Amino acid sequence: MTQYGAEFLWVLILASLGLSALAIFISVSRHRRYHSRAASMPNSSDDVASEAARKVLREFEKNGQSVDAALVTWSPETLRKILAEDLPDAQVIVVSNREPYIHNEKNGEVELVVPASGLVSALEPITRVCAGTWIAYGGGSADRVVVDGDDRVQVPPGNPSYTLRRVWLTDEQYQGYYLGFANEGLWPLCHIAFTRPTFRDSDWEAYEAVNRKFADTVVAEARNERPIVLVQDYHFALLPRMIRERLPEAIIITFWHIPWPNSEVFSICPWRERILDGLLGSSIIGFHTQFHANNFTESVDRFMESRIERADAAVSYGGQTTLVHAYPISIEWPVELLKTLPSVAESQARVRERFGILADAKLCVGVERLDYTKGILDRFHALEELFIRHPETIGQVVFLQIAAPSRGTLPAYKHLHEECLRFAEELNERYGSETYRPVVLVAEHHSQKNVYEIYRAADICLVTSLHDGMNLVAKEFVASRDDEQGVLLLSTFAGAARELLEALIVNPYDAAMMSETMLQALTMGPDEQRERMRRMREIVRDNNVYRWAGSMLLDAARLRKRGELDRVTALSDRQVSLNGDNVVPMFERRQAAGYR
């Protein structure tokens, strides 16, 4: 190395050492200034505590519930404790299309009807516990007769525990909003049942107007600016945003009870951005399964200017964060209705006598609305396949299908009804006799009590949806069998299949496979039935409807606490701006956080 090269190298080394020394000096100075400033701040510990609390909240929000949620015994008392301790003085408002109690006029008198609806059976116990307000469409012929001057009626009859607030719609509004956009548009769009969705401008306008009407009702019923609003299902995709615009501090939990399609299918909808914008007005959006939650997030990512926080299961959009979580819905446990029902043996005798079923035949049952997503025709195909493959079962098996009429004015439903009647008649002609009908099709509405009696009488229950959110029939059947007998055939495309793993899981599109599974169920011994049913009953008991609601309410409480922390931070920032420092008196911090 030359003399000049060596001198240049030494200059570089000295310059490097000088810069390092300067960096250390600056770092030490900043460190001293920080500690000096912290020592002069009486409330610096509050900032540390606030940040620690934020981190805890973020962890809770990331997982949707606390780590020990599975260890909690979920009951009405658990919900009351959550409301009292985590959400004191919170007003709970439920919004749905279907009302929990319907008043109809019959022979000049008012008759009370409790609809056999999965949504109602899940939400009604929750609303009773919360002593809340349930807002729903009043469609009963005598609904107007029993309400007070504010369109309210106290329910349940005989033991009122919450308020039912009815909303009135014209026939034109109902036709466009419910039968049109909701059930000819969104319903087939969200279900993979190969029925083309129909979208009309007039239906969309009615849907938007009805959502606005329900938003007006929510605001009118809110006692303050911070209610907890539980918006139910695809009838109200625009409602969360409409409520948010008028009650910005409300906690809005939207639960989507049906599947959410992948983004390619969802792109069919002409108002896809409007629907996503409406739903993102929610604080929390819930789905039955994580798969459907993921589909929703992908749709938002594809069509909206947003930021997806995948680690936190959240979407940031328009300056607001919305949690997107899976909350598997369930039923109450124990089922109070069981106390009023006869024994299993008596139920079996009564059901067989009512429907003319031979005493020694195995009874298979299906219970649902007459809907093309439920796989009713596919069960008939599987039964025919069973008779072809195993002719010895002819005369030994009866299939009782309870199919409550639904949306009968829509072409797809009218066609389905006609096809079911035709196929059932063909099977009875081909395989029946004077004393034996292999298929008993009952297209009538049944009370919840009658439905549970049918569950208790069944040897096999078929829940073979082509595509479904959860399907509570599966859980109701399991809950009804306190004798620990009976076999559940469950579609792999129903959300309940993610939980009830001891059911016989079937692909309803595969008639041959389903027929062989039916044979397995018909020949299953009582010990195996008991082992499977006992485990499924444990699942339904532990993952009951109180856990479903409690998980959402706990997340709502955490969001509310996070909002309080944000207000503390905002107050601190304001004080910094006004005073030139960040010293905020403890009293003001506690007030801002809602403490007294």
Instruction: Encode pLDDT of 303-352 as tens digits.
Output: 999 999 988 899 999 999 999 999 999 999 999 899 999 999 999 999 99
pLDDT in tens, 396-431: 999 999 999 999 899 999 999 999 999 999 999 999
Q: Do domains 80-326 and 336-541 have the same CATH topology?
A: yes
Residue given tokens 């007294």 in the structure block: 596
Q: Of the ranges 46-55, 522-531, 585-594, which is most confident?
A: 522-531
Q: Which two tokens stand for residue 588?
A: 């003001």
Question: Could you confirm whether domain 80-326 is CATH 3.40.50.2000?
Answer: yes
Element holding 490 (H helix, E strand): strand 487-491
The answer to whether the CB of 475 falls within 8 A of the CB of 500 is yes
**Which pLDDT does position 502 carry in this prediction?**
98
Closest CA to 166 of 186, 195, 141, 203: 141
The answer to whether the CB of 165 falls within 8 A of the CB of 114 is no
Please name the residues in contact with 263: beta carbons below 8 A apart, sequence gap of 6 or more: 295, 298, 299, 301, 302, 303
Instruction: Kindly report the number of other CB atoms within 10 A of residue 227's CB atom.
Output: 23
Q: Give me the mean pLDDT over the 442-451 stretch.
A: 90
Distance CA 451, CA 46 (A): 57
pLDDT at residue 41 above 50?
no
Distance CA 591, CA 596 (A): 6
Three-state SS at 181: helix
Q: Which two tokens stand for residue 211?
A: 């959502």
> 576 falls in which pLDDT band (50, 70, 90)?
low
Q: Which amino acid is at 319?
A: G
Q: Which residue has the higher pLDDT, 215 or 45?
A: 215
> 10 falls in which pLDDT band (50, 70, 90)?
low
Helices 545-579, 118-130: crossing angle, 10 deg rounding: 60
- Compute the C-alpha angle 43/49/55, nearest 5°: 150
The answer to whether the CB of 309 falls within 8 A of the CB of 325 is no
Cis peptide before 160 (omega within 30 of 0): no
DSSP 415: H
pLDDT in tens, 112-142: 988 877 788 788 888 999 999 999 999 999 9
**Which pLDDT does position 584 carry in this prediction?**
40
Q: Give me the mean pLDDT over the 72-82 stretch.
A: 88
Closest CA to 140 of 94, 182, 98: 98
**Which pLDDT does position 48 carry in this prediction?**
41
The answer to whether the CB of 529 falls within 8 A of the CB of 487 is yes
**Which pLDDT does position 120 carry in this prediction?**
85
Distance CA 231, CA 101 (A): 18
> 56 falls in which pLDDT band (50, 70, 90)?
very low
Distance CA 155, CA 37 (A): 60
> 578 falls in which pLDDT band (50, 70, 90)?
low
Three-state SS at 164: strand
Indicate the pTM of the whole model: 0.83
The domain segmentation of the chain, as residue ranges, is 80-326, 336-541
User: What's the CATH fold of domain 336-541?
Assistant: Rossmann fold (3.40.50)
**Which pLDDT does position 446 carry in this prediction?**
87
Cis peptide before 157 (omega within 30 of 0): no
By the 10 Å C-beta count (0-12 exposed, 13-18 middle, 19+ buried), 468 is classed as buried
- The mean predicted confidence, pLDDT, of the chain is 87
Three-state SS at 191: coil
Distance CA 490, CA 512 (A): 15
